[in-house]
Amino acid sequence: MSTQQPVISCQNVWKIFGKDPQSFLKTMTSGMSFDDIRAAGYIAGVKDVSIDVHSGEMLVIMGLSGSGKSTLVRCFSRLHDITGGKIMVEGQDIMSLPERDLIELRRSKMGMVFQSFGLLPHRTVLDNVAFPLEMRGQDKHTRRERALEVVKLVGLEGREDYFPRELSGGQQQRVGIARSLAIEPDIWFLDEPFSALDPLIRREMQDEFLRLQQMLNKTIVFITHDFDEALRLADRIAIMKDGAVEQCDTPDQIVLHPATEYVRKFTEDIDKARVVHAGVLAEAGQSGEGTPIDAGETVHSMARMLVNDARSMIPVKRGDALIGAMPRQVALDILLGPVA
């Protein structure tokens, strides 16, 4: 991961709901479980979470309903004031920011997309997309030009004058994404934006989202309860339970090495061959023989080669540089299951 200062740094963060949460946090017994805290009359929405988000990274936060994922992301933007710990955004302690500076940070740096599209029904697509620019005080010509630009970016060119009721669910979601992008945010928060969509439209929106991220290279925190969606989109995945992060790692590492039984249950039905890449299996310092394979190839995409190849160690390259060699038997065990 990048050695640069993280865009968001979350250090030992607590968000406790209840009558006097700060006093409770100061006096609570170390190591109290979620259930212990609840028995005391409080709810730990976020429980001692430390996590960094790096520039250009897509961090997916996932968990079941009530796990704390949405609460954590609302803490990142200080839509919730935290009970304890520290959150830094681009080096600023957001809890210390005056309200005016906090509003300016959100307006200039952060974009947000939620499950409910929140479109204004009496405004056209173009006017919906331009709305945050209007709130920012930009003149009509400037905001129209920017709105046209992002409407084209999300594939809605020709529908600028449509009203939300005239659009499909997937198209409405694109309007929500375009509206969020209109302010050119450096940090993008998306809270289950595709969960209300039909499966085919959802897949299409994931494809569109990956295309946009490749073009724009935003720093993204994406919330989902769908593990397949997380695996498809994420650079890293943080899996939450009862307000705490059970594991935060790359998709490859999570399916290969689940840290807890809870995480293992998420991964047990996943086809690991479609997730694990050659670069993760490559052993540094090993050379192998013959033509190298690309580090980005999945075990599934290498299936025919793995079955027919006789090499025990297969060289792996990233770009033009060799990074090591992959043990063929390890990849075969992922593809076919270990030999009995």
Average pLDDT over the chain, rounded to whole?
92
Domain positions in the chain: 55-78+97-271, 273-336
pLDDT digits (tens, 9 = 90+) for 279-308: 999 999 998 889 999 999 999 999 999 999
Catalogue the E-assigned strands of the chain. 8-17, 43-53, 58-62, 84-89, 92-93, 110-114, 187-191, 219-224, 236-241, 244-249, 293-294, 313-318, 321-327
Mean pLDDT of 75-80: 94
Q: Quick one: pLDDT at residue 47?
A: 97
* Residue 340 binned pLDDT confidence (cut-offs 50, 70, 90): low
* CB-CB neighbours of 325 under 10 Å: 24
pLDDT of residue 241: 96
Mean pLDDT of 55-63: 95
pLDDT band per the 50, 70, 90 thresholds, residue 3: low
The full DSSP string for 225-275 is S-HHHHHHH-SEEEEEETTEEEEEE-HHHHHHS-SSHHHHHHHTTS-GGGT
What pLDDT band is residue 173 in, cutting at 50, 70 and 90?
Answer: confident
Tens digits of residue pLDDT in 37-54:
999 999 999 999 999 999
pLDDT(208) > 80: yes
| Domain covering 55-78+97-271 in this structure, CATH number | 3.40.50.300
CATH number (3.10.580.10, 3.40.50.150, 3.90.100.10, 3.30.70.100) of 273-336 reads: 3.10.580.10
Q: Is the pTM of this model over 0.85?
A: yes
